[in-house]
């Protein structure tokens, strides 16, 4: 299998299929729990170090003098993409503030790389650092006088409580300045609402028609000869309708990914983050052109031989979409792959990741 398999389900390849897609139900497709068996998931989850024990748990903030300002904030943690990704979903008590954090890690104890997408139109990287004592930390912004940087450091206490300290770094060292405690709960997370309820719903343009649809992408003949599998892809909204999600799996189940599309709150551009079961991710933005074509370029992280991908697509008269991609590496731009997507009712294949294809 060639590298095109890795990028087959990214938003760039599926985007064109939406422009003249047949009308679809507004009800999102139910996304089933990841099908990887427990014996395979447990070893993969170990790369998340002290965070691995959080998978399958839900937490509720204990209000106190140092509460975050969103008292009763809740979060839950789950494994996704064949247990190669750890996901944190966080919602404030009133449902107005919510976020998704997707974490990827390579080796136990080496930390994790997080990608955060919010319901107020922001997306950013969030690195996690792991410590020998079983705690972890993430960077925070600070305006405190004399403090060079800030972080939130978390741990699980012996009584099962999750504790997070906000710490500021002064010349004499790190100093804790606030504490938040969370306890396990079985209560459901609050329903996510729009961050700014008086504004109009997020407009994804023709992409809105993809909600509740599923597609099958057939590779070109040349790609088939090199073992390129077909791709299955489905679309739904999350975080109160503020993000559009594409979830895809190759037909042989060897690889999959999740694309999170949102409108940037400052630029109003449609941007995306693509997280994969192979340990790499991409980010970028795209443009819908008036003539029905589309174009995009994205940056890759985690692959040594490709650093950029650009794609162009065109809608065919039969309602399918033809897409051609190019890859950028040490030798410059080289031809990529061709896919044609059509609607399907077939379920997504079971995802059992095999790592990074050739």
Please tell me the predicted confidence (pLDDT) of residue 170: 93
Give yes or no for a contact between 258 and 198, defined as CB atoms under 8 angstroms apart.
no
Please tell me the predicted confidence (pLDDT) of residue 13: 43
Residue 200 class from Cβ within 10 Å (0-12 exposed, 13-18 middle, 19+ buried)?
exposed
pTM of the predicted structure, to 2 decimals: 0.84
Q: What's the DSSP call for residue 221?
A: H
- Integer-rounded Cα Rg, in Å, for the chain is 21
Question: 287 has which bridge partners?
Answer: 295
Question: 339 has which bridge partners?
Answer: 219, 323
Give yes or no for a contact between 18 and 209, defined as CB atoms under 8 angstroms apart.
yes
pLDDT in tens, the chain (358 residues): 334 333 434 444 433 333 223 333 333 333 334 444 444 555 578 899 999 999 999 999 876 665 554 446 899 999 999 999 999 999 998 899 999 999 999 887 789 999 999 999 999 999 999 999 999 999 998 778 888 999 999 999 999 999 998 899 999 999 988 888 999 999 999 999 877 766 778 888 777 877 898 989 998 888 788 888 999 989 899 999 999 999 999 999 999 999 999 999 888 888 989 999 998 888 888 777 777 667 777 777 667 788 888 887 766 778 777 778 888 888 888 888 788 989 899 999 999 998 665 5
Please tell me the predicted confidence (pLDDT) of residue 45: 83
Give yes or no for a contact between 119 and 98, defined as CB atoms under 8 angstroms apart.
yes
Which CATH code is given to the segment(s) 4-32+193-343?
2.40.128.20
Question: 260 has which bridge partners?
Answer: 245, 273
As a dihedral over the C-alpha atoms of residue 180, residue 181, residue 185, residue 188, rounded to 10 degrees, the angle is 0
Rounded Cα–Cα distance for residues 198 and 204 (Å): 18
- CA diameter of the chain: 68
Domain ranges (residues) in the chain: 4-32+193-343
Rounded Cα–Cα distance for residues 148 and 74 (Å): 30
- DSSP states of 119-173: TTS-EEEEEEEE-TTS-EEEEE----TT--EEEEEEEE-TTS-EEEEEEEEETTE
């Amino acid at each position: 299998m060639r590298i095109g398999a890795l990028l087959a389900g990214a938003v760039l390849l599926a985007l064109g299929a939406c422009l003249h897609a047949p009308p679809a139900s507004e009800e999102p497709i139910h996304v089933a729990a990841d099908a990887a068996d427990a014996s395979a998931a447990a070893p993969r989850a170990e790369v998340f170090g002290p965070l691995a024990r959080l998978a399958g748990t839900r937490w509720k903030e204990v209000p106190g003098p140092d509460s975050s300002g969103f008292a009763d904030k809740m979060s839950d943690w789950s494994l996704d993409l064949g247990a190669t990704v750890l996901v944190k979903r966080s919602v404030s008590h009133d449902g107005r503030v919510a976020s998704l954090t997707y974490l990827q890690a390579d080796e136990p104890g080496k930390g994790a790389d997080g990608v955060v997408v919010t319901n107020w139109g922001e997306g950013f990287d969030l690195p996690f650092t792991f410590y020998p004592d079983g705690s972890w930390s993430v960077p925070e912004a600070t305006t405190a006088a004399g403090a060079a940087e800030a972080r939130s450091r978390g741990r699980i206490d012996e009584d099962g409580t999750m504790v997070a300290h906000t710490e500021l770094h002064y010349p004499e060292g790190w100093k804790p300045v606030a504490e938040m405690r969370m306890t396990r709960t079985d209560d459901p997370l609050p329903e996510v609402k729009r961050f700014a309820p008086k504004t109009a719903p997020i407009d994804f343009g023709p992409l809105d028609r993809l909600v509740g649809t599923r597609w099958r992408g057939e590779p070109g003949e040349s790609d088939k000869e090199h073992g390129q599998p077909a791709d299955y892809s489905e679309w739904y909204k999350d975080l109160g309708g503020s993000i559009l999600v594409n979830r895809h799996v190759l037909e042989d189940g060897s690889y999959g990914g999740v694309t999170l599309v949102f409108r940037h709150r400052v630029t109003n551009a449609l941007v995306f983050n693509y997280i994969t079961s192979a340990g790499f991710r991409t980010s970028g933005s795209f443009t819908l052109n008036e003539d029905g074509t589309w174009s995009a370029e994205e940056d890759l992280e985690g692959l040594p031989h490709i650093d950029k991908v650009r794609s162009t697509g065109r809608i065919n008269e039969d309602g399918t979409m033809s897409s051609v991609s190019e890859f950028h590496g040490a030798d410059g731009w080289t031809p990529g792959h061709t896919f044609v997507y059509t609607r399907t009712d077939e379920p997504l294949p079971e995802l059992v990741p095999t790592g990074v294809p050739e």
